Amino acid sequence: MKKEHRQKRMLFLAAACAIIAVAAAALYVPSLLSDQNNEKVLQEQADRKSRKEGVRLSEREEDRESSVPRSAQLINRAGNTLEQRIQPPVGYQRKQAKSGSLAAFLRGYPLKKHGKPVLLYNGEEKGNQDAHVAVFKLPMEKEDLQQCADSVIRVYAEYFWHSGKRERISFRFVDGFQAEYEKWRRGYRIQTGDRGSSWVSGGRLDGSYGNFKKYLRMVFAYASTLSLEEESKKISLSKLDVGDIFLKAGSPGHVVMVVDICEDAAGRKAFLLGQGYMPAQEFHLLKNPAREDDPWYYVDEISYPFSTPEYDFGKGSLRRPQY
């Protein structure tokens, strides 16, 4: 009897344990599923938050990039030449310049260190230091001679001299006289007077750079925007190229020079301008007054009067020197 009683009790306990296990499972499984669902929901919320944070981070990065002055993106302060210093705008690139071309000469031309002031012929600083972004190491004489038109002449003369094209060094005086360097090199000198200018003999053959500078000082003294107008021709903006000039002839007049050019995939052009001015001063790269942080001028944006930092040019002012 006791054995049967113990068996019945054990069966009862086993049944009770089974019932308790089933009840516990009934409570645990929904809880487990609920926890899994909650974890999934929490993970989805975390993922959404992460994506939002990523978007906000990306926006902050874009904001930081957009907050960087465009000049910092376009101007490499460590660059020692025009091409190294000034980068083309986004979407634009410089067209390959032929070796020995004026474009190649100017792109490789050395510049003074970033931030240097424009100096006058006497070593003093120019009054307006807000018009330029760079200064060329173009030679300048100590007299008040190498002004705006003379600076353009100096660029061309230095280019012809250093590229082995010295026979092309020839510039017109205001009185119409043609001052050919080759004749000067052979010993002829220029006599000026009320009846105009003329060649006189008596010198000796001298192909030195020092004698070349003497020739240029003579040209600077008797050439101007008026003579530059006579030895250049009008062109359209669509034909714009390095070496072209915006010119207002007269007294006073002014001239600025296209010193570099780039294009985008659609063929739209942007260009850089250089100038000298009065009093005689270093040749410098101009800012674009219409774009605070971008020195490039965009052909599509040009209208007349065309404004540069220190002078406005009228319609028909774009010209190409015939050197």
Side chain identity, residue 158: E
Predicted pLDDT at 212: 98
202 backbone φψ class: left, alpha, beta (φ>0; ψ -120 to 50): left
Predicted pLDDT at 59: 43
Report mean pLDDT in 10-residue bins for the chain, 323 residues. 46 45 42 46 51 43 46 89 98 95 98 98 98 98 97 98 98 98 97 95 93 98 98 97 98 95 97 98 98 96 98 98 97
Specify the pairing of strand 245-248 against strand 311-313: unpaired
Compute the half-sphere exposure of residue 218: CA atoms within 13 Å on the CB side of its CA: 23
DSSP state of 187: T
Domain residue spans in the chain? Answer: 1-67, 76-165+224-321
- Cβ within 8 Å of residue 240, ≥6 positions away: 258, 261, 269, 271, 299, 318
Report the predicted TM-score, pTM, of the whole model to 2 decimal places.
0.79
* Token code pair at residue 34: 């609920």
Terminal CA-to-CA distance of the chain, rounded, Å?
Answer: 134
* Peptide bond connecting 88 to the previous residue in cis, omega within 30 degrees of 0: no
Predicted pLDDT at 284: 98
Predicted pLDDT at 202: 80
DSSP state of 95: P
For residues 187 and 201, is the Cβ–Cβ distance under 8 A? yes
Predicted pLDDT at 251: 84
Predicted pLDDT at 33: 38
What φ, ψ does residue 317 adopt, rounded to 5°? Answer: -85, -15
**Helices 148-162 + 209-222 axis angle, to 10:** 150
- Cβ within 8 Å of residue 116, ≥6 positions away: 135
